[in-house]
């Protein structure tokens, strides 16, 4: 049977494809734009028929019918990483979250540590060899394809066909739903004076020929905007966005000086504009790979001069980063922050930056605190943190004593809080 005949035999309506889901299934959905809106809408329609179903995903971009506290016994969301759509439910307690480093998630799925019964994913049109590309999220989804009982693809002509390790053959697919829903676009976050100041400090320290990992958020993007004058930068990151694309367009990123995978930008998912998605399409200079490749510290650190730039919500005077919760209140997730901090530390000539504004709540609260509030999830260990940057400067922590760390962090806190932090540090025997 030809690939085209196999394709035609597997085409279903969205409602028919959603019937592949059984009670107690875990459905794996790709990160962000890789979520299939037509399929998830059809599943939402039958949510009251099901029981014990979980939909596992990083960073959902839309609220579907199953984002409903009244139907959590039927279908509920499992957040690998929270976003605006899933954060309220997690904070109210009816959305669950999973604790793990992004690099470990594919292997956890392959080994059955975290289940993957069904895959729902956006995909490109099939090529002449019978392959679809999951061009918006190889992430953990490729591992789930290997494990799942049913693989259901929402095939959309606007999804690019990427190079890399993100391809699924028609013989692996259970059902196909054809869709022309426009791809969601995510713009660059607003950047103000604080973000610009932080970006300036980091940009000054990044050398030509460095390879970049840029985390999610406004401050990492502010750094990117100030790197356009650099030369021969490379990309090995988890998220490919429009900020990094702008560096390619300005000639700052060439990937030619990468000693590992030279000439190629490497990522595990893409999140941005239609322009970004067009850039990805059949571009041999860009590849998507699963997160156990992109984020593995032992693999990523093969890039010399690897620079990781990630944001945190708060940091204490010991250097512990609380990047995913405010006290016990969940906010985001672990993601790949710890992965890339460790990778940059291992890299020859590497640099790891944790970035944050000095205050929150319009200046009423210091983000540099004596100790993290009880219940705060420590995302990045004090043993791994190196450079910490606020709008007031850079604190270098690695290799420093606890007292030296505390003094360095107080020096980059907002001036309004330095005396108070010094007094609190004294009580902790840190000054």
Computed over every residue of the chain, the mean pLDDT equals 96
The residue annotated as part of the active site, out of 238, 287, 324, 391, is 238
* Per-residue pLDDT band at 306 (split at 50, 70, 90): very high
* Per-residue pLDDT band at 189 (split at 50, 70, 90): confident
The CA distance from 197 to 201, in Å, is 7
- Are 124 and 241 found together in one domain? no
Structure confidence at residue 183 (pLDDT)? 93
- Are 282 and 418 found together in one domain? yes
- Are 168 and 208 found together in one domain? no
pLDDT at 219 over 90: no
CATH number at residue 136: 3.40.1080.10
- Are 241 and 123 found together in one domain? no
* Per-residue pLDDT band at 222 (split at 50, 70, 90): confident
238 among known catalytic residues: yes
Q: What is the pTM of this model?
A: 0.96
With H, G, I as helix, E, B as strand and everything else as coil, classify residue 388.
strand
Structure tokens at 24: 């107690």
Structure tokens at 99: 């604790």
- What are the C-alpha distances in Å from 187 to residues 57, 105, 218, 251, 271? 21, 27, 11, 21, 9
Structure confidence at residue 155 (pLDDT)? 98
Structure confidence at residue 423 (pLDDT)? 97
At 49-79, the pLDDT tens digits run 999 999 999 999 999 999 999 999 999 999 9
- Going by C-alpha positions, the residue among 273, 329, 337 that lies closest to residue 310 is 337
* Per-residue pLDDT band at 217 (split at 50, 70, 90): confident
- Are 377 and 301 found together in one domain? yes
The CA distance from 253 to 232, in Å, is 5
pLDDT at 1 over 90: no
- Are 259 and 142 found together in one domain? no
Mean of the pLDDT values across residues 135-141?
A: 93
Q: What is the per-residue DSSP string for 63-123?
A: --TT--GGGTTTEEEEEEE--TTTHHHHHHTSSEE----GGGHHHHHHTTSS---EEEEEE
pLDDT at 14 over 90: yes
Domain assignment of residue 186, yes or no:
no
Strands (E), 323-427: 325-326, 329-330, 351-355, 359-360, 365-366, 368-369, 387-390, 393-396
- Are 116 and 155 found together in one domain? yes
Structure tokens at 341: 């901090």
Structure confidence at residue 107 (pLDDT)? 97
- Are 139 and 239 found together in one domain? no
Structure confidence at residue 33 (pLDDT)? 94
For 7-30, give one letter per residue: b (16+ CB within 10 A) or e: beebebebeebbebbeeebbbbbb
CATH number at residue 300: 3.40.1080.20
8 A C-beta contact, residue 193 and residue 218: no
Domain that holds residue 204: 193-427
Domain assignment of residue 307, yes or no:
yes
- Are 237 and 280 found together in one domain? yes
- Are 257 and 347 found together in one domain? yes
* Per-residue pLDDT band at 109 (split at 50, 70, 90): very high
Structure confidence at residue 188 (pLDDT)? 81
Mean of the pLDDT values across residues 271-291?
A: 97
- Are 299 and 369 found together in one domain? yes
pLDDT at 191 over 90: no
- Going by C-alpha positions, the residue among 28, 61, 109 that lies closest to residue 292 is 109
- Are 235 and 268 found together in one domain? yes
Last residue of a domain, one of 152, 178, 204: 178
Mean of the pLDDT values across residues 33-38?
A: 96
pLDDT at 346 over 90: yes
Structure confidence at residue 57 (pLDDT)? 96
Give me the number of domains the chain comprises.
Answer: 2
Virtual CA dihedral for 86, 137, 306, 105, nearest 10 degrees?
Answer: 70
At 383-419, the pLDDT tens digits run 999 999 999 999 999 999 999 999 999 999 999 999 9
């Amino acid at each position: 049977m030809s690939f085209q005949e196999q394709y035609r035999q597997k085409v279903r309506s969205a409602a028919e494809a959603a019937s592949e889901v059984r009670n107690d299934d875990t459905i794996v959905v790709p990160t962000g734009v890789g979520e299939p809106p037509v399929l998830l809408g059809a599943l939402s329609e039958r949510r009251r028929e099901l029981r014990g179903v979980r939909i596992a995903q990083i960073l959902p971009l839309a609220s579907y019918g199953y984002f409903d506290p009244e139907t959590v016994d039927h279908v509920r969301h499992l957040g690998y990483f929270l976003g605006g759509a899933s954060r309220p439910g997690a904070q109210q307690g009816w959305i669950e979250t999973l604790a793990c480093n992004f690099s470990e998630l594919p292997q956890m799925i392959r080994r059955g540590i975290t289940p993957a019964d069904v895959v729902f994913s956006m995909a490109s049109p099939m090529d002449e060899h019978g392959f679809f590309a999951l061009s918006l999220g190889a992430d953990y989804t490729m591992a789930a394809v290997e494990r799942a009982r049913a693989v259901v693809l929402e095939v959309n002509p606007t999804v690019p066909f990427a190079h890399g390790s993100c391809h699924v053959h028609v013989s692996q697919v259970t059902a196909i739903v054809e869709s022309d829903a426009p791809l969601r676009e995510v713009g660059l976050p607003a950047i103000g004076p604080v973000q610009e100041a932080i970006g300036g400090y980091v940009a000054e320290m990044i050398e030509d020929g460095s390879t970049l990992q840029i985390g999610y958020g406004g401050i990492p993007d502010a750094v990117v905007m100030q790197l356009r004058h650099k030369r021969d930068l490379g990309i090995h990151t988890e998220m490919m966005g429009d900020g990094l694309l702008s560096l390619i367009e300005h000639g700052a990123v060439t990937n030619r000086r990468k000693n590992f995978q030279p000439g190629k930008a490497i990522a595990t998912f893409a999140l941005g504009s239609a322009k970004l998605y067009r850039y990805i399409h059949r571009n041999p200079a860009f590849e998507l790979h699963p997160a156990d490749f992109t984020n593995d510290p032992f693999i990523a650190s093969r890039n010399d001069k690897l620079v990781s730039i990630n944001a945190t919500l708060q940091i204490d005077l010991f250097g512990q980063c609380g990047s995913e919760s405010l006290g016990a209140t969940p906010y985001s997730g672990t993601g790949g922050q710890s992965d890339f901090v460790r990778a940059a530390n291992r890299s020859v000539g590497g640099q790891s930056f944790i970035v944050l504004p000095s205050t929150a709540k319009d200046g009423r609260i210091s983000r540099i605190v004596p100790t993290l509030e009880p219940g705060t999830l420590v995302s990045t260990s004090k043993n791994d943190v190196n450079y910490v940057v606020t709008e007031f400067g850079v604190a270098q922590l690695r290799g420093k004593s606890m007292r030296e760390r505390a003094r360095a962090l107080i020096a980059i806190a907002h001036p309004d809080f330095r005396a108070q932090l010094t007094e609190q540090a004294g009580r902790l025997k840190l000054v």
